[in-house]
Amino acid sequence: MKAPVIAVFAGGTSAEREVSAASGAACASALARSFTTRLFAVVAEALPDGYDPQSHVVFSTLHGTFGEDGGMQRLIDIAGGVYAGCDASSSALTMDKALTKRTVAALGVPVVDGIEFEAGSTPAAGDVVRRLGPRVVVKPNNEGSSVGLRIADDEAAIGAALAGITSGSWIVERRIVGRELSVGILKGRAMGIVEVRPKSGVYDYTSKYTKGMTEYLAPAPLDDALAARVRASAETAFSACGCRDYARVDFMVSSAGEPFLLEINTLPGMKEMSLLPMSARCVGLDFPALVREMVSPAIERFRLGAVSRRP
């Protein structure tokens, strides 16, 4: 049977399209070392021209809405295609931060206290302080790359952050001041733990994508017990949300040493120096080897499907 072409989808329509384009270029270059590969620029909420579900396996690097929320995955499913990464339902679940927290908390993974709300129904700043304290994080419920993230340290700042919200679904969470960790999951198993140390104290969009603004420690300097707990929580969260193939799970560790799950990223940044590749290097996988492993389950699903379609 002829090997499939790896179709790398990049760009998209979300606020993260520039990040996605960079991820796509890096992954396409790395995948081309092992497979026939084609890079597709996605410019609309539709399958790109030239995509062929009978001969392509999709490796998506689309971040944010439509790419990471199950939208593109559903279109590929309808077309009868095969893709690497989480399916449409788990993608939709994990894109919803509040639903993710409820899902993993049911299995004992600690999560940060928060309030969910829609624009137009924002809570009063005083109510937020009474429930969560004066130090909070305000963020969209379904965006990535820290798009829209706001930090508030008192009631007045909370009121100002809430007043600026005009659309969408949001969360306000108690702010945990501590150590930020990220761990990659590959085929259900946790890889290395990376510690993120933003010089500003907040890992926002600027800290993520401005050179020199953040220090990364890979592997993170953790004692064995905490490292084991973080890995176990990451694997539990991955399984609880029905994820497959790969993802990245982020945590904040409190000053008391308690790791709280922040979110699961099913299509995280994928340049060579992004967090998931850093996590993989901790366990001996360089970037080309990582992307080969990430796409390999989808290639197997494609082959099994081709066999089942034979007359």
Helix (H, G, I), strand (E, B) or coil at 201: coil
> Do 157 and 186 touch, CB atoms closer than 8 A?
no
74 annotated active-site: no
| C-alpha span between 310 and 8 (Å, rounded) | 26
E-assigned strand segments in the chain: 5-11, 37-42, 56-60, 82-83, 114-118, 136-140, 150-152, 169-174, 179-186, 189-198, 214-217, 246-253, 259-265
Out of 70, 250, 274, 279, which one is annotated catalytic? 250
* Whether residue 118 lies in the annotated active site: no
Q: 141 catalytic, yes or no? A: no
- Choice among 89, 135, 169, 209 that is catalytic: 209
Q: Return the DSSP state at 111.
A: B
Please provide the size of the chain in residues.
Answer: 311
269 is catalytic: yes
Q: What is the DSSP letter of 273?
A: T
**Is 67 considered catalytic here?**
no
The active-site residue, picked from 263, 274, 279, 281, is: 263
Q: What residues contact 93, with CB distance under 8 A and at least 6 apart?
A: 99, 100, 103, 241, 242
Q: Which of 145, 146, 182, 207 is catalytic?
A: 145
What is the dihedral sign for C-alpha 258, 138, 19, 34?
positive
3-state secondary structure of 11: strand
Q: Report the C-alpha gap between 220 and 154 in whole angstroms.
A: 31
Marked catalytic residue, from 85, 231, 269, 279:
269
Q: Is 250 a catalytic residue?
A: yes
* Residue 184 annotated as catalytic: no
- Provide the residue type at 260 as one letter: F
Catalytic status, residue 142: no
* Cβ–Cβ under 8 Å, residues 109 and 237: yes
Q: For residues 265 and 279, give the distance between their C-alpha atoms in angstroms, rounded to a whole number.
A: 14
Upper half-sphere CA count for residue 168 (Cβ side, 13 Å):
16
Q: Which residues does the annotation mark as catalytic?
A: 16, 145, 209, 248, 250, 263, 265, 269
